[in-house]
Structure 1
Amino acid sequence: MANQPSPATGSQSALRTFFVSGLGTALEFYDFVIYGVAAALVFPQVFFPDLDPLTATLVAFGAFGVGFFARPLGGMVFGHFGDKAGRQKALVVTLLLMGFSTLAIGCLPSHESIGAAAPVLLVLLRLVQGFAAGGEWGGAALFGIESAPAGKRGLWGSFTSMGIGIGGILGSAVFAIVSAAYDDNLADFAWRIPFWLGGVLVLIGLYARLSNPASKPLQPQENTRLPLVAALRSRPREMLLCTGIAFGYVTIAYIGSTFFLAYATQMGYGSTEALLFDVSLSVAIVISAPLFASLSDRLGRRTVMILGALLMAVGFFVFFTLVGRHSLPIACMAYVMVGALMGATQGPIPAFLAEQFPRHMRYSGMSAAYQIGAAFGGGTASSLATAILIATGSPFGVAAYGAAALALVAVCSFLLRETAHLGMKEIDADSGVETGAEILRSV
């Protein structure tokens, strides 16, 4: 397979790859997740105290969503940088930006102290977070995929998916501990502790990425001046379908990670219980994502993605029924179920999207497509789900919204070509120009 190291190092190589790709992403998405948790639990009181609780939650989720609209720009900038100068340099810069913005959010004065300037600064720092996250996902995924032995690109690409889940566990667990220890003044001061810790933890990921050998530079014949333009010209169909997959998946991911948290508190569960639910969901993703990604290496990406989307659509309706029972064990089981089903799509996505592009445009193409979809899907998911709940008074409207997003994932997956059993030489040598017969065969 082209552009790949020899597979001699076995488990040690897999562990090292996970440390750079998965653990680095975990530390970066820890910072991203704690913002979402804080938006659900404390930001309405700290930055929007003049609004009623449900409306303040809606506005806080709107501020959360603003960061998503910086992600496409981050994906394009760091994708270009990563394709031209190498993956490692781009990954180091994204980590530094995320650490700075997270630490700064933890130091922000409240609305009570500086008035309207507080939420304005919050939104600006959220934009920096989104810009950094836009470049992180694609580069970290490619580090695993492009280092993988034959037949394991799905599994090694899922290290990034596992990292996102681990970041969710760390973020929710830290907030749960802080919430339990400082329940009376969580909104006054204690909410800052996870943000300060996040700024420090980024140093671990930085060490991992700086200590890893830099990726091989492009050969002169591969050195496309504008990789994103090349991707748009040669693979417009793939760009559009990958964007659709990202829109659908990130929509349900952020309904699951942020709206579900706020919904649990609205249903009468305590904030510590709600965070326990979030940890349960993230643990299930960490376990299921590599299992389904490995399955996609054998059965094909499309088969696993479509089956996972259909199961998850049904799971949304089951979830709200179980949580409505007002039983802590049953609610935990519901969150575990949702997390396990999310892994069915989250696991194969990195490899599936990366394999649609040859190496010289891969970082730019997959990052731009994914982050544009993520901006419109994840950036609106929590706010739209909350608005649907307010308008209908029923959680099953939210379930229908999630099912529609998953239908889009299934359709776009069906229309993309199957890539699991192609070698990287074939993918990298592909011009991206398909004939009509080839398009029909891919479907």
Structure 2
Amino acid sequence: MDNQHQGTGALSARKTFWVSGMGTALEYYDFFIYGYAAALVFPAVFFPEMDRLTATLIAFSAFGAGFLARPLGGIVFGHFGDKVGRQKVLVFTLLMMGVSTLLIGCLPSYASVGVAAPVLLVLLRLLQGFAAGGEWGGAALFGIENAPRGRRGLWGSFTSMGIGIGGILASAVFATVSLAYDDDLTGFAWRIPFLLGGVLVLIGLYARLQAPREAPAPRQKETPVPLLAALRARPRELLLCIGVAFGYTTIAYIGTTFFLSYATLIGYGNTEALLFDFALSITIVISAPLFALLSDHIGRKRVMILGSALMAAGFFAFFPLISQHSLWLSLAAYALVGALMGATQGPIPAFLGEQFPREMRFSSISATYQIGAALGGGTASSIATAILIASDQNPLGVALYAAGALGLVALCSCLLRETARLSMAEIDQDRRECRQLAAQSLP
């Protein structure tokens, strides 16, 4: 396909959002409900012999296990995405996520089979992580590479919006189930969101199978491994993109999974905590495309750096606000954090994708984002909980931890090149050099 075609109107935008945004929403719904269950119910179901805070820490560690598989998924699916096309990979990752989610909903509890229950939970979480590793990069590129001139940031943010919509669906389903079961999720109730997730994936699958077929990629015998070419041609960009992803996913999972657990720890009920997360997800869906569109006009770097500074301030304001134990004040605090998260979540797909030419783009952004996610997002909830335990439940240390992660986002963004004004042809202009470097990587 032409990487820099002019826009084809609202219908094209809707089709692209349906494939990129809604497909991602349904896949990340599956990913998020695991995080919600880890915060709210898995400590009691799979680790019942521990005290609540320690069991939560162990549950978050199991949650983080999925992130260990994400870099491998990113590398494997990124390679095939560069070789055989984006659409085929997106269909396969969606199927894998749906099956693993459905199976989690069928797992026996610790009371039924003992230690085998958490072992099976971790194995299925690894499968979820492997699938998610290929999802983000493929969906982001579907938006970026179909975008009209001057709108790559906005169209790339369809993926970011999809993640937020997935969070909305997940929190809405969990909150509804929690209300229906009188705030008790430890019985059959927690299984319902997982079983539903396995069915919802069919909708995303239909959307992706309706996407226009990609033109066959030209044969590139001299570039058998795109990621190796990127390691030779763009090692600096790879490292800096990992830094951006590390910092962003750290604060993203503090702001979702950890915040959910923290609300219940200080006295809010499960339903209230899920309502807070619902508010956070809604504001991300609204703010992410707005900040992405702003990055199309004033540049990716400015928005990423300013957004990091604003978000750091937001984290320091968040904990005093929710400590007032006011439902409406807490809703406002969560909504504020979500709005500020959009400042970085919106531009990230275009910003990272534009650092690499087409031949290595899927491999490069999938590997860098998922490595950063494994190191940052995979450990964020566990580290934040450990900080809370070590500080006798003083949240200031968590705010400092988040500020440090955001400082890394700002620093790495500053060191990457500005790409908003470049055409895709200009970004791809060094493809000959990349092919030569890839040929040198042959044994």
TM-score between both structures, scaled by the size of structure 1: 0.96
Residues in 2 aligned to 1:188 and 1:432: alpha-carbon distance in whole angstroms: 59
1:114 aligns with 2:140: no
Q: Which residue does the alignment assign to 2:347?
A: 348
Which residue does 1:146 correspond to in 2?
145
| CA positional deviation for 1:218 | 2.0
User: Paired residue for 2:409?
Assistant: 409
Q: CA deviation at 1:183?
A: 2.4
CA–CA separation in structure 1 for the residues paired with 2:87 and 2:183: 43
The alpha carbon displacement at 1:213 in A equals: 1.8
User: Could you tell me how far 1:60 is from its partner in structure 2?
Assistant: 0.3
- Show the counterpart of 2:268: 269
Quick check: 1:396 aligned with 2:396?
Answer: yes
**What's the Cα RMSD here?**
1.4
Partner Cα distance (2:125, 2:397) in 1: 29
Q: Letter of the aligned partner of 1:226 in structure 2?
A: V
Alignment of structure 1 residues 128-143 onto 2, 5 Å:
128-143=127-142
Amino acid in structure 2 at the alignment position of 1:254: Y
2:328 corresponds to which letter in structure 1? P
Is residue 356–residue 364 contact of structure 2 (8 Å, CA) maintained in 1?
yes
Tell me, which stretches of 5 or more residues in structure 2 are unaligned?
A: 435-443
Residue aligning to 1:87: 86
Q: Deviations over 1:240-292 (max 9, x none)?
A: 00000000000000001100000000110111000000000000000000000
Give the AA of the match of 1:423. Answer: S
Q: Is the 8 A contact 1:86 1:214 kept in 2?
A: no
C-alpha distance in structure 2 between counterparts of 1:252 and 1:432, whole Å: 38
Q: Secondary structure at the match of 1:78?
A: helix
Provide Cα deviations, 1:54-98, integer angstroms capped at 9, x if missing partner: 100000000000000100000000000100000001001100000
2-side partners of 1:414 and 1:5: how far apart?
A: 29
Structure 1 residue 188: deviation in Å?
1.0
Using the alignment, how far apart are the partners of 2:196 and 2:264 within structure 1?
25
| Cα offsets for 1:213-232 (capped at 9, x unmatched) | 22222223587210010111
Alpha-carbon distance between aligned partners in 2 of 1:376 and 1:432, rounded to the nearest angstrom = 33
Q: Deviations over 1:184-230 (max 9, x none)?
A: 64211110000000000000000011111222222235872100101
User: How many Å apart are 1:2 and its aligned residue?
Assistant: 4.2
Distance, in Å, in 2 between the alignment partners of 1:412 and 1:184 is: 43
Q: CA deviation at 1:3?
A: 2.7
Question: Which residue matches 2:259?
Answer: 260
**Following the alignment from structure 2 to structure 1, what is the Cα–Cα distance between the partners of residues 40 and 272?**
12
Letter in 1 for 2:404: A
CA separation in 2, counterparts of 1:430 and 1:82?
A: 20
SS in 2 for 1:356: coil
Alignment of 1:5-24 (within 5 A): 5-8=5-8, 10-24=9-23
Secondary structure of the residue that 2:215 maps to in structure 1?
coil
Q: How far apart are the structure 2 equivalents of 1:225 and 1:214?
A: 23
The structure in which a higher percent of residues are helix is 1
For residues 223 and 139 of structure 1, do their structure 2 counterparts lie closer, same or farther at Cα, with a shift above 3 Å needed?
farther
| Structure-1 residue corresponding to 2:205 | 206
Q: Tell me the amino acid that sits aligned with residue 219 of structure 1.
A: P
Sequence identity (%): 73
**Deviations 1:280-324 (Å, cap 9, x if unpaired)?**
000000000000000000000000000000000111000011011
Deviations 1:318-364 (A, max 9, x none): 00110111111000000000000000000000000000000010000
Distance 1:348 1:185 in 2: 39
**Quick check: 1:92–1:210 contact (8 Å CA) kept in 2?**
yes
Alignment correspondent of 1:424 = 424
Contact 1:234 1:431 in 2 (8 A): no
Which runs of 5 or more residues in structure 1 are unaligned?
435-443
Q: Determine the C-alpha separation between the residues in 1 that align with 2:432 and 2:127.
A: 33
Aligned to 2:104: 105
1:281-430 alignment, distance < 5 Å: 281-393=280-392, 394-430=394-430
- How far apart are the structure 1 equivalents of 2:242 and 2:215? 28
The answer (yes or no) to whether the contact 2:307–2:344 under 8 Å persists in 1 is yes
Tell whether the 8 Å contact from 2:6 to 2:147 is kept in structure 1 after alignment.
Answer: no
Amino acid at match of 1:144: G
